[in-house]
Amino acid sequence: MRILRLISVFSCAMVLSALPVLAADIKIGFPGPITGNLGFLGEHMKWGAQLAADEINTSGGLLGGKKIKIIMGDSKCAPAESVSVVERLISQEKVDVLLGDICSGATLADMPIAKREGRPMLVTISSHPAISEKSGVGGNPWVFRTSPTDAIIGALGGKGVLDQGFKSVAFIAEDTDYGRAGVESMRQVLKGKVNITSTDFTAADQTDFLSVLTRLRSQKPEAIAIYLLDRQLFNFMKQYQQFKLKMPLVGRPPLGSGLVTDLVNSGDFNGSWTVFQYLDSYDSKENTAFVASYKKAYGQRPHFAGFAMYEGIQIIAEAIKSAGSTDPEKVREALKNIKYDSILGKIAFDDHHQAHNSILKMTIIDGKLKVTGVVGQ
Amino acid sequence: MFDPLFIAQLLLNGLVVGAAYGLAAIGLTLIFGVLEEVNFAHGELYMLASYSLFAAVSFLGLPYGMAVLLVLPIMALVGFGLSQAAILPNMERPFEVTVLSTLAVAMILQSIVRLTAGSTPVNVDTVFETMTFEIAGILFFGQRVLILIVALLSIIAFAVFLRYSRIGLEMRAVAQNRLACQMVGIDLKRIANWSVVCGVVLTGIAGVTMAPLFDLSPDMGVAIVFKSFAVVIIGGMGSAFGAVVAGILLGVVEAFTTGYGSVAVSEGLFFIIMILVLLIRPHGLFGRTVRI
Amino acid sequence: MIPRSPYLIMLWWPILALAIASTGPSQYVLHILIIAGIYVILAQSLHLVLGQLGLLSLGIPAFFGIGAYAETLLSVHFGLDSLLSLVLVAGITFVSGLVIGVPSLRLSSHSFVIVTLSFAMLLQVIAFHWVDVTRGALGFPDIPAPSVLGFSWTDKTSWLIAILILDVVTFAAFIRIKTSRFGRALAATKGNEDLARAVGFSTFRVKLLAFAISGTLAGIAGTAYAHYITFIDPNVFGFSVTENLLIMVVLGGSGTVFGPMIGAVVFTVLPELLRFSPEFRSLLYGVLLLMAMLRFPLGLGELTSRFRRKK
């Protein structure tokens, strides 16, 4: 009876999953964390992508009225799962174009599939330098990236520390490829010039910073360089507040995240700054419009993950338009030569298929996070 | 770095963090001790209590104290449901069945919370969070001290209940010799229900007192479960006192290794200590019958 | 109990897999079959301790991870022939099984569960922090393809064949063990340990050997995984593999010889079919599992008649 039960469930599921999909759609798919620790980032990824697709579809679609369909699979940010998702997106969902995952490890595992199957893949968030090292000339011709690399961001962060004349810095980073690569690039810039009082790599789901903060309170570095993601930063800042510490948070803390807005506004973090590729309060006509539609559709201001995917879809749409078809080779060529007007600058790809969009430096002044510098690459 | 102030602060940190670990594990050790069942839904129950608190505070606008009073009866109901769905039917079956059943409940709870509350982390603020006292250069954090107090009160309440109530007596009896209890007519189902409900409520107490410390997300229960297991094993199955002692022990060791070394070392320590304790004292520090 | 030759019956899986493969399926389908093949080996590993011994070991990821990392290091640093490194890894994981088994098996069954789990978690922490050897969180990308006696492959069809061969070999060994003297000692230990000891053989040694063999199987699965996915990181020691395995072995039927194998295939394919709505998939899975445990605990077959031992 158990077997019968299982068989009937099987059959139902098979039938459901084989439901016909409109052949006229243009399908763009990507892996991302839906469940797991970074689920809320995956949510923003989906929202950003969907918003772009909706905007394009309501204004007439592409290639004579075809609509864009966004398909996201749950990778949990794990490479093995991400690979499964991408395989499925190509074989079962028959997507025309791919986007990269958030976590660099997952994206790196996905890249060979894009090459093997011949589909363009646009990486919009992953920041590991290896991704562009392996793309373009002498490498994977199908992968393109708009997000800046950890090497660049780390160097900018390090430069910011040097510019402010700090003599001692403590590092706190998440123990992932992202955190370690980021710290490494900052360390390269600061070596020999600044005293690094301590380096802590915390588990990605760690929420308790009590003892680390105790040590910081005792050692008193002049600044704390941070390579954490939103959730950990929230917990860190909250506990930092209770410790009544005064040194600024520098480097790349995601101060623009909606999770820490209240903490930023409290005024306890004035002087902290970060280097990021997007801030929702960036003052420009296009951005204000974008933020307004995002908020209207999803009830939250855009996270940079949402912005990155939004622009990613727009860029792909541009490439499809200019290629005049969804043929992978033509879209790839179109991407190679694209010149896209991003909200932050111009996007074009170098010979390693890496874009060099502007990066924002933002500082907390009087309880408000403000853009204090725009660095072109 | 042998600054006495630094050491004292680390000690206090260890104490309060450890008390939290212990408090979180009391519910687990109760079910473990009385019924010999491993409750893999433990972490998700903790998470459910935290989210319920959040809902009570944010949507119903209740102050912290009243919200807690609302959440605990809800947890009791959930505990009853868990007992019916995953514990009672499996009492006479190999305990792996309960492991899987409670694991299934954990998956269900996590999915429901994720679907209703979304993946964006939320947080609960209480008045205790803003209280930070500095006494002789050492910082005392309001919410953490509250946890310590609640943990101690829980042990006392637990002990009183076990010692002086009829149900408590029966629970202790079942923990010692289930077969004999059935022979003298103790209603096993009733005891099982009571044990699970008490265990879940205790876990709920842990959830509502600890929730304000960090942010909440649907997967926050996962980390709790493994640490709680370690605490229960080290402290001894069934001993609430053991759980808190073990928790504090681990908390202090963690605080000092992080404070003097870095986070890296302290992570593995939980497991190393547990393995060592099991080698030397397989029944944990305080044995295995249900007592304080 | 099993009327026909088990060696023949087990061929249902390779035959089914090859049949599907010959219809020219997509890369995705092949991928799922290969993953199922890896889980078949892992299911045997868990079945050996859970089904044959009645011990719930949550430590399978420990050996899976050791196998994956050991194979990766041997392959990347020494470029050994994969058959040779497979033997080496089998040896390493066997010894690890002995090392972990000796302290763990002396404990009560509940403590055993948690200690085996903790060993896996501990190894994960070590993998994260012993950066010089394991590259920590960065993991090992670009693991080279396996090379057996000079013959190498990366395409999925070859991989499927390789995995199926591995499945057949390990399963045949498994059946051989079960029908051997050792297998009977296992059954005796599980049936009534005190009696077995009274009759005169060391049940501890029996359990230890079984545990170590179980570890070896998991380690072998780990080597295949490393070469196939070409990327490993400390998360191979994580709990999600165990979750899947428990569902496969217990629902598949841990009292029977073929139950876990069926479970491995069914429960690798099922979640993929349910992928169409990831948010609901977890919920549905949990409900299915709970219902199954409530209504059909006989998936456990012989386990239900096992005495619950108190220590």
> Is residue C57 in a domain?
yes
φ, ψ for residue A132 (rounded to 5)? -80, -25
Residue B289 lies in a domain: no
Euclidean distance between CA atoms B99 and C254, whole angstroms = 14
> How many whole angstroms from its chain centre is CA C83?
19
Say which residues have a Cβ less than 8 Å from residue A290's Cβ, sequence separation at least 6. A302, A307, A310, A343
How many structural domains is chain B composed of? 1
The answer to the question of residue B108 being in a domain is: yes
ipTM: 0.84
Residues of chain A in contact with residue B259, where contact means CB-CB under 8 angstroms, are 211, 214-215
Predicted confidence at residue A207, as pLDDT, reads 85
CB B146 within 8 A of CB B128: yes
Q: Across the interface, do A242 and B5 touch by the CB < 8 Å criterion?
A: no
β-bridge mates for residue B239, sequence order:
B291
- Chain B residues with beta carbon closer than 8 angstroms to that of C119: 271, 275
Nearest chain A Cα distance for residue C168, angstroms: 24
Indicate whether B262 pLDDT > 80.
no
**Chains adjacent to A (≥3 CB pairs closer than 8 angstroms):** B, C
Say whether residue A296 is in contact with chain B using an 8 A CB cutoff: no
| Residue of chain B nearest C108, judged by CA positions | B282
- Considering the domain boundaries, does residue B290 fall inside one? no
Q: What is the pLDDT of residue C251?
A: 74
Tokens 């599992």 locate to C289
Query: How close does chain A come to C142, measured CA to CA in Å?
Result: 8
Q: Considering the domain boundaries, does residue B240 fall inside one?
A: yes
- Give chain C's largest Cα–Cα span: 58
The amino acid present at A39, given as its one-letter code, is G
Q: Are B109 and B45 in contact (CB under 8 A)?
A: yes
Q: Which residue of B has its CA nearest to C247?
A: B100
Whether B191 is covered by a domain: the verdict is: yes
CA distance B44 to C122: 22
Could you tell me which of A355, A322, A321 has the C-alpha nearest to residue A135? Answer: A355
**Nearest Cα residue in chain C from B233:** C111
- Interatomic CA distance for residues C127 and C138, integer angstroms: 10
C138, C230, C299: residue with CB nearest A2: C299
Tell me the sheet residues that pair with B132: B141
For an interface test with C, the pick among B44, B83, B96 (most C C-beta atoms closer than 10 Å) comes out as: B96
Domain annotation covers residue C302: no
Against chain C, the chains showing at least 3 CB pairs within 8 Å are A, B
Give residues with Cβ within 8 angstroms of C142, minimum separation 6.
C230, C231
Only one residue has tokens 């996070």, namely A369
Domain that holds residue C164: 6-244
The pLDDT, as a whole number, for residue A17 is 46
Q: What is the mean pLDDT of residues B84-101?
A: 84
Q: Per the CB < 8 Å rule, is B97 touching C308?
A: no
- Please count the residues of chain A: 377
Residue A335 Cα, gap to closest chain C Cα (Å): 26
pLDDT at B290 over 80: no
Listing DSSP states for chain C in one string gives ---S-HHHHTTHHHHHHHHHHTT---HHHHHHHHHHHHHHHHHHHHHHHHTTT------HHHHHHHHHHHHHHIIIII---HHHHHHHHHHHHHHHHHHHHHHHTTS-HHHHHHHHHHHHHHHHHHHHH-HHHH-GGG-B-SPPPPEETTEE--SHHHHHHHHHHHHHHHHHHHHHHHTSHHHHHHHHHHH-HHHHHHHT--HHHHHHHHHHHHHHHHHHHHHHHHHHH--B-GGGGSHHHHHHHHIIIIIHHTTSSSHHHHHHHHHHHHHHHGGGSHHHHHHHHHHHHHHHHHH-GGGGGGGGGS-----
C198 within domain boundaries: yes
Chains that touch B (3 or more CB pairs under 8 A): A, C
Residue B3 lies in a domain: no
CA R_g for chain C: 19
- CA pair distance C293, C291, nearest whole angstrom: 5
Task: Please check whether residue C280 touches B, CB under 8 A.
Answer: yes
Does B116 contact chain A (CB < 8 Å)? no
Chain B environment of A42 (Cβ under 8 Å): 119
A130–C139 C-beta distance less than 8 A: no
Residue A190 in 3-state DSSP?
Answer: helix
Taking only the tens place, the pLDDT of each residue in B29-38 is: 999 888 888 8
Residues of chain B positioned with their CB less than 8 A from the CB of C129: 264, 267-268
Quick one: which of B28, B71, B47, B42 has its CA closest to B219?
A: B47
Q: Is residue C249 part of a domain?
A: no
**Residue B267: predicted pLDDT:** 72
Q: Give the integer Cα–Cα distance in Å for C275 and C281.
A: 7
Report CB contact under 8 Å: B263, A202. yes
Contact status, residue B108 vs residue C290, Cβ threshold 8 Å: yes
- The chain C residue lying nearest A3, using CA atoms, is C252
Helix, strand, or coil here: A353? coil
- B204, part of any domain: yes
Instruction: CATH number of the domain at B107, please.
Output: 1.10.3470
Segments in chain C below pLDDT 70: 1-4, 254-255, 274-279, 296-311
| CB-CB neighbors (< 8 A) of C306 in chain B | 94
Instruction: Look at chain C and count its residues.
Output: 311
Nearest residue of B to residue C254, measured between CA atoms: B96
Question: Which residues of chain A are modeled with pLDDT < 70?
Answer: 1-24, 377
Residue C99 lies in a domain: yes
Instruction: Pick from A92, A126, A134, A150 the residue to mutate for testing the C interface (most C CBs within 10 Å).
Output: A92
Whether residue C270 lies inside any domain: the answer is no
Q: What is the CA radius of gyration of chain A?
A: 22
Q: Find the closest chain C residue to B178 by CA distance.
A: C310
- What is d(CA B172, CA B262) in angstroms, rounded to the nearest whole number? 42
Q: Does A74 touch chain B (CB under 8 A)?
A: no
**Quick one: what percent of chain B has pLDDT higher than 90?**
25
Q: How confident is the model at residue A309, as a pLDDT?
A: 96
- Chain C residues near residue A202 by CB distance under 8 angstroms: none
pLDDT in tens, A38-86: 888 999 999 999 999 999 999 988 888 899 999 999 888 888 788 889 9
Instruction: State which residues form the domain around B199.
Output: 10-280
Nearest-CA distance C205 → chain B (Å): 18
Contacts A77 to B, Cβ<8 Å: none
Residue B2 lies in a domain: no
Which of chain A's residues have a Cβ under 8 Å away from the Cβ of B6? 214-215, 218
Domain count, chain C: 1
User: Is A91 close to C296, i.e. CB distance below 8 A?
Assistant: no
Please judge whether A84 and C278 are an interchain contact, meaning their C-beta atoms are less than 8 angstroms apart.
Answer: no
Residue tagged 């420990």 (tokens): C62
Residue C282 included in any domain: no
Give the integer Cα–Cα distance in Å for A143 and A100: 9
pLDDT at position C131 is 81
The answer to whether residue A24 neighbours chain B at the CB level (below 8 Å) is no
Instruction: Work out the burial of residue B248: count CB atoms within 10 Å of its CB; fewer than 13 is exposed, 13-18 middle, 19 or more buried.
Output: buried
Residue A227, Ramachandran bin (φ over 0: left; ψ between -120 and 50: alpha; else beta): beta
Residues of B in contact with C56 (CB under 8 A): 95-96, 99
Residue C214: the pLDDT is 93
Cα angle: A82, vertex A85, A90; to 5 degrees: 130
Please check whether residue C292 lies inside any domain of the structure. no
Q: How much is the pLDDT for A55?
A: 94
Q: From CA C153, how far away is CA C265, in angstroms rounded?
A: 24
* Nearest neighbour of A205 by CB, restricted to B10, B129, B223: B223
Q: In A, residues 217-256, which contact B (CB 8 Å cutoff)?
A: 217-218, 230-231, 234-235, 238, 242-244
Q: With CB atoms and an 8 Å threshold, state whether C26 touches A91.
A: yes
Which stretches within chain B are classed as H helix? 4-35, 42-58, 64-82, 95-117, 142-164, 166-176, 178-183, 188-210, 221-235, 240-260, 263-280
